[in-house]
C-alpha cells in the first residue's frame, strides 16, 4: 500500500511542479485525466481496506479514510466540484492523523512489550501462537502483548 500511495504522490508532485513551472496548464474546472489517477488509487485502497479487516481495526480506519478521500477526490476532480475537493482534502488530513496514531501505537506497543496505546486487532478471532494474546493472524509477526 505504501508503494501505491508513494508512487501516486510522486506523480502528483511532478504534475504540480510542471503546472507551477508553467510547462503545463491545468484546466479550469473539471480535470477528468487527473480523476482517473484518483480512481485507480481508490480502487486499490478499497481492496486494502477489506484485506486489513484480518489485521487491525486501525488499518481498516486508515485505508477506509484514504479510500473515501480518493473516491471523493476522483468525483470532485472529474466534475470540477471545488467544495467536494475541499472535503476530500480534509478526509486525507483525518486519515493521516489516524495513520500517525496507528503507527505510533504499534511502535510504542512493540518497543515497551505491552499495550501503551490501544490498537484493536481483527474482530475475527484466529488461532494465535502459544503465549500471544489478541487476534493476530496465525503465522504473522503481528501480535498484541499483555
Any domain includes 22: no
Which domain range does residue 122 map to? 1-15+28-146
Any domain includes 48: yes
End-to-end CA separation in angstroms for the chain: 29
Any domain includes 129: yes
Any domain includes 20: no
Per the prediction, the chain carries an average pLDDT of 85
Collapsing DSSP to helix, strand or coil, 137 comes out as coil
pLDDT at residue number 124:
53
Alpha helix locations (H) across the chain? 2-21, 32-52, 57-79, 82-112
Q: Per-residue pLDDT for 139 more than 70?
A: no
CA torsion sign for 12, 52, 47, 86 is: negative
The residue that leads in pLDDT, 49 or 145, is 49
Any domain includes 146: yes
Count the domains in the chain.
1
pLDDT digits (tens, 9 = 90+) for 17-32: 999 999 999 888 899 9
pLDDT digits (tens, 9 = 90+) for 71-102: 999 999 999 999 999 999 999 999 999 999 99
Amino acid at each position: 500500500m505504501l508503494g501505491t500511495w508513494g508512487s501516486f504522490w510522486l506523480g502528483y508532485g511532478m504534475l504540480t511542479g510542471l503546472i507551477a513551472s508553467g510547462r503545463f496548464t491545468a484546466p479550469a474546472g473539471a480535470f477528468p485525466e487527473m480523476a482517473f489517477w484518483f480512481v485507480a488509487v481508490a480502487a486499490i485502497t478499497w481492496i486494502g481496506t477489506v484485506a486489513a479487516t484480518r489485521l487491525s481495526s486501525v488499518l481498516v480506519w486508515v485505508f477506509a479514510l484514504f479510500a473515501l478521500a480518493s473516491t471523493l477526490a476522483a468525483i470532485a476532480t472529474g466534475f470540477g466540484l471545488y467544495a467536494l475537493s475541499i472535503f476530500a482534502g480534509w478526509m486525507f488530513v483525518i486519515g493521516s492523523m489516524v495513520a500517525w496514531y496507528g503507527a505510533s501505537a504499534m511502535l510504542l506497543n512493540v518497543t515497551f512489550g505491552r499495550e501503551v496505546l490501544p490498537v484493536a486487532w481483527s474482530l475475527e478471532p484466529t488461532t494465535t501462537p502459544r503465549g500471544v494474546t489478541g487476534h493476530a493472524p496465525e503465522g504473522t509477526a503481528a501480535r498484541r502483548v499483555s
